[in-house]
Amino acid sequence: MITTMETRRESNEKVNKKIRQQQVLEILSDGKERTARQVAYEMCERGFTNNLERNNASPRLTDLLEERKVMVIGKELDAITGKKVAVFKIVQKEQL
């Protein structure tokens, strides 16, 4: 258990959260609505990450949601899990 906690902490420390947030905002800046998985796929396509893992985007979307820079505008069925997931959109200044 200690090893998994250490590796999780080490991985978390390697991620520059501010840069990752900027990458997420860059993707959402086109005004399209996306799920965390869709954002993660686009992050990989743009070369921001080296894999399609949803967790590349999800924690940063949560941070941006708390900072009111993105908002949840609905739900959508995730094609992989078959579960409903949140759909995010960037907050425009006039929406504040």
What CATH code is carried by the domain that includes residue 52? Answer: 1.10.10.10
pLDDT score recorded for residue 10 = 66
When divided into structural domains, the chain yields a total of: 1
Whole domain around residue 80: which residue ranges? Answer: 2-95
User: Which spans in the chain are helix H?
Assistant: 2-14, 17-28, 36-45, 58-66
- Beta-carbon contacts of 54 under 8 Å, excluding residues fewer than 6 positions away, are 36, 37, 40
| Residue 7, pLDDT above cutoff 80 | no
pLDDT score recorded for residue 39 = 98
| Residue 8, pLDDT above cutoff 70 | no
Indicate the pTM of the whole model: 0.84
